[in-house]
Structure 1
């Protein structure tokens, strides 16, 4: 049977196209690299690499052999790394992407507790509503709300979110509160991503469902400002429960049409497809799944 170390050296030479660069990557003398490739060729009885004074190139048999060996060898390396990671303390840079809706105190408190528990981990936080390309941007994990597009990413459900219709007592003073969804058309509404200060709201009540156009004085691209203008009495807002439940309890906001809400929106963690999850990411996912957060509801 051929020597696995010789195969690994050959694969590295084929990847770099150079004995010198392969030797540097493997931290061994060039003469040793050349000898191992020659030994492998002798064992197989074929020429794998054509050598000249200027360059080297794979033979047809060498290319076929490389194609057969590189993937299994990569899996062996991954398996070895995984065994090492189980013994290693969680550490290193963890890049996390979250939507703007999480850019508030409860999530910051969670991260603060997490960093104190794992001082070897450093977090690079991206707060954006854009769907960051995790692989291209080398991001470890993202938290995403709503439907996910098909991709090679690993997705795990961690919660669900609903949006409530709310208004301030100041706004409702002297106004007749809506008795049915259609009444919203005659009210000022605070909009998320509205065009020409109009937007369509989708509301559900059990099996009942309605979609209607509403309008208002302010349209914004994030829930923080929608919440701020709703709180200040400029109109009715459709806000995630995490943005308004505490204010409803304190009677700073009033829930309108309490039997109606938005359809449930699923919350996921997504991360690049990996055979073995790095320990820094594994502990983050574990802590996130155990977090009792007001920013989304638990899975049923």
Structure 2
């Protein structure tokens, strides 16, 4: 049995949530995936999954296997990179979690990176809330705001720039707010980042002013908020990535420009510096460079 290949398959089953989904991702048949996992279980004399007709779940031993399997696979991939013809082969899959606006920004530019490295695969997820990096097999995640988890490696790579915006149709017949306290008289549309949707924060004469609001609509994705604002649903705070073209084209109006939303740190997090493979370092450097090239996000 190829233990490394079996460990890779085991991790993919964990990530995909089923043998059939993992088989589809790996280009294998479902029986082939099942055989690899079964061989791994037999080799280590332990059961990794609870199986039933309609469900698949990890055993306690399977849970403990995840971080060890990841380290083993990463170590082998690092050796393979060093042993390549020029020592600089970028190959394998990198799983990345990004907030939706930054994810859209990245998606326009990611083809350039993968075209440079034909054996590199990047799996991008849009997430507004923190993930369990180890359990979900996520290599890199970008988080907005302070990072509370001291077990993660954190690298601040920039700052958000956002605007309070509304559609012209919404403002027609209404008085646009001039100060944060006037926002409470308006319809507000929010996106939920870990329960923070009911408080908006602005910079007023170098002081931070927080306003508690009662949103009429709440979404867990900033792109959905953007669409609702364009439809005339009310006021919203949105990233420059989403709204700058709309402001320039007159589809949205920037409100309360002298008191902008508070900027949040953009932090790149990952589980460990040890055995950080070339494929992960390549995508990490790409994200750092991409954010740094944007004047409105540059640290």
- 1:96 and 2:96 are equivalent in the alignment: yes
- Give the unaligned 5+ runs of structure 1: 1-23, 25-73
Say whether the 8 Å CA contact 1:168–1:252 is kept in structure 2: yes
Q: CA RMSD in A?
A: 2.9
**241-250 vs 150-159, which deviates more?**
150-159
Residue equivalent to 2:126: 127
Q: Secondary structure at the match of 2:189?
A: strand
Q: Distance in 1 between matches of 2:216 and 2:291?
A: 35
Residues 6-57 of structure 1 deviation map (CA, whole Å, 9 limit, x = unaligned): xxxxxxxxxxxxxxxxxx9xxxxxxxxxxxxxxxxxxxxxxxxxxxxxxxxx
Residues 55-85 of structure 1 deviation map (CA, whole Å, 9 limit, x = unaligned): xxxxxxxxxxxxxxxxxxx9xx99x948558
Q: Secondary structure at the match of 1:215?
A: coil
Residue equivalent to 1:291: 290
Say whether the 8 Å CA contact 1:159–1:296 is kept in structure 2: no
Say whether the 8 Å CA contact 2:202–2:262 is kept in structure 1: yes
Q: CA deviation at 1:151?
A: 2.5
Q: Distance in 1 between matches of 2:291 and 2:131?
A: 26
Q: Secondary structure at the match of 1:289?
A: helix
Residue equivalent to 1:261: 260
Summarize the alignment of residues 40-59 of structure 1 with structure 2, pairs less than 5 Å apart. none
Residue equivalent to 1:277: 276
Q: Distance in 1 between matches of 2:205 and 2:263?
A: 11
Residue equivalent to 1:236: 235
Residues 165-213 of structure 1 deviation map (CA, whole Å, 9 limit, x = unaligned): 111111111112212222112111112239xxx8222211242332223
Say whether the 8 Å CA contact 1:243–1:295 is kept in structure 2: no
TM-score by length of 1: 0.65
Q: Distance in 1 between matches of 2:150 and 2:207?
A: 32
Q: Secondary structure at the match of 2:226?
A: helix
Say whether the 8 Å CA contact 2:157–2:291 is kept in structure 1: no
Q: Distance in 2 between matches of 1:96 and 1:179?
A: 39
Q: CA deviation at 1:88?
A: 3.8
Q: Distance in 2 between matches of 1:299 and 1:155?
A: 17
